[in-house]
Amino acid sequence: MSPRYVVVGPPGAGKTTVSELLAARLGVPFRDVDADVVELAGKPISDIFTDDGEPAFRAMEEEAVAKALVEHEGVLALGGGAVLSATTRERLREHTVVFLNVGMAEGVRRTGLSSSRPLLSGINPRATFKALLDARLPLYREVATIEVLTDSLDPERVTDAVIKGAEA
């Protein structure tokens, strides 16, 4: 077993929304690794960051990704920072990985610099978002089989582009 598609990208790219649409269109199940981590920890991701720190969250995330890659057949959405793990990037090499790319301005608009996103809270969330994009962009591209720029597309058109990209 393995997922048909693994979806990655920064906050605000539309990973969950597009993954759910893609799964529905393909008639396969959807799974979100962030939800798996919340279930494993028994608390929200923002609380994991606050109580246990980012390293603890990343360890749980890496474990959850490994498990989901083996167990899940369908569309799997990863958290935005899952690609930071070299182990996870290696595991993704055997899968069709969709990178939903979003520019800084659109990503900031979509996330609303939400306090529910622990890495975007702080003194200068715009600068934090830019640094996050700069650091992760090469990693997303390293694992990507398909890349879709989502800035000017609604979720349905992004889903169309993913399916067309897979057929190409």
- Numbered residues of the known binding site for Mg(2+): 16
Residues at the binding site for ATP are 12-17, 117
**Side chain identity at 5, as an amino acid letter?**
Y
Residues at the binding site are 12-17, 34, 58, 80, 117, 136
Beta strands in the chain (DSSP E): 5-8, 30-32, 75-77, 97-101, 146-149
CA–CA distance, 19 with 120 (Å, rounded to integer): 22
Residue 76, helix vs strand vs coil: strand
User: Taking the CB of residue 138, how many other CB atoms lie within 10 A of it?
Assistant: 9
Residue 102, helix vs strand vs coil: coil
Residues at the binding site for substrate are 34, 58, 80, 136
Q: Tokens 């993704």 label which residue?
A: 92
Cβ atoms of residues 23 and 75 within 8 Å: yes
